[in-house]
């Protein structure tokens, strides 16, 4: 359900297999989708995101850290609070499982999105071959 929107927003023009991310099959991974359910038609997936336990590269020994991946909202539906609702659900899942730290590789266009949600930047930007990214993190409280 989440991969078609990942493909459209995060991997356009790349093979479908590029939408399979490390961590997707982690037993504690959560994939969240906001869907618009309209009578008489197939419901549309408007926004998606994923979280799973994973230490940040700058602190590989951490056992309380979770990673946010694959945040994407369909073009026409951005700025309406869907991404934030997805992110809040992902963070709540990490907290429920004892997570106290969450991090991501934010695309530069999404730095302010994560900043609004309390994330701060660490280190410089880098290119992973698909986009320019900034590492960001925040602590979590139950
Ligand atoms: C980043 C993204 C997922 C945000 O989803 P969204 O549904 O538009 O976000 P929301 O409408 O829930 O915005 C939540 C808050 O972040 C702010 N925000 C969202 N995107 C922003 C942006 N690009 N720049 C500045 N602020 C942004 C909103 O103003 C809102 O602020 P508020 O809480 O004060 O009202 C979406 O813009 C997207 O898919 N971008 C392209 C793909 C991408 O870069 N994904 C991130 C990969 S790391």
114 CA closest ligand 1 atom index = 16
The yes-or-no verdict on residue 41 having pLDDT over 80 is: no
Rg of the Cα trace of the chain?
15
72 C-beta closer than 6 A to ligand 1: yes
Tens of pLDDT, residue by residue over 86-141, are 999 999 999 999 999 999 999 999 999 999 999 999 999 999 988 999 999 999 98
Which of 35, 36, 69, 83 should be mutated for ligand 1, with most atoms under 8 A from CB? 83
Q: Band of the pLDDT at 142, cuts 50, 70, 90?
A: low
Tens of pLDDT, residue by residue over 1-12, are 899 999 999 999
Nearest CA among 55, 11, 53 for reference residue 30: 53
81 C-beta closer than 6 A to ligand 1: yes
Residue 38 confidence (pLDDT): 78
Residue 141 confidence (pLDDT): 80
Alpha carbon distance 47, 49 (integer Å): 7
> Which CATH number belongs to the domain containing residue 70 in this structure?
3.40.630.30
112 C-beta closer than 6 A to ligand 1: yes
Say what the pTM is: 0.94
Count of domains for the chain? 1
The yes-or-no verdict on residue 43 having pLDDT over 80 is: no
Tens of pLDDT, residue by residue over 55-91, are 999 999 999 999 999 999 999 999 999 999 999 999 9
Query: Domain range for residue 49?
Result: 3-139
Q: Whose CA is nearest to atom 35 of ligand 1?
A: 81
């Amino acid at each position: 359900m989440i991969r078609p929107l990942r493909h459209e927003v995060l991997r356009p023009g790349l093979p479908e297999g590029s939408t399979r991310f490390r961590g997707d099959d982690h037993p504690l991974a959560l994939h969240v989708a906001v869907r618009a359910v309209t009578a008489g038609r197939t419901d549309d997936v408007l926004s998606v995101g994923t979280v799973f336990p994973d230490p940040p590269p700058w602190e590989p020994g951490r056992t309380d850290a979770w990673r946010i991946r694959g945040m994407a909202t369909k073009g026409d539906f951005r700025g309406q609070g869907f991404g934030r609702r997805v992110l809040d659900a992902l963070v709540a899942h990490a907290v429920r499982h004892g997570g106290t730290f969450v991090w991501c590789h934010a695309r530069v266009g999404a730095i302010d999105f994560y900043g609004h949600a309390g994330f701060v930047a660490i280190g410089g930007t880098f290119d992973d071959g698909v986009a320019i990214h900034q590492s960001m993190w925040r602590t979590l409280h139950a």
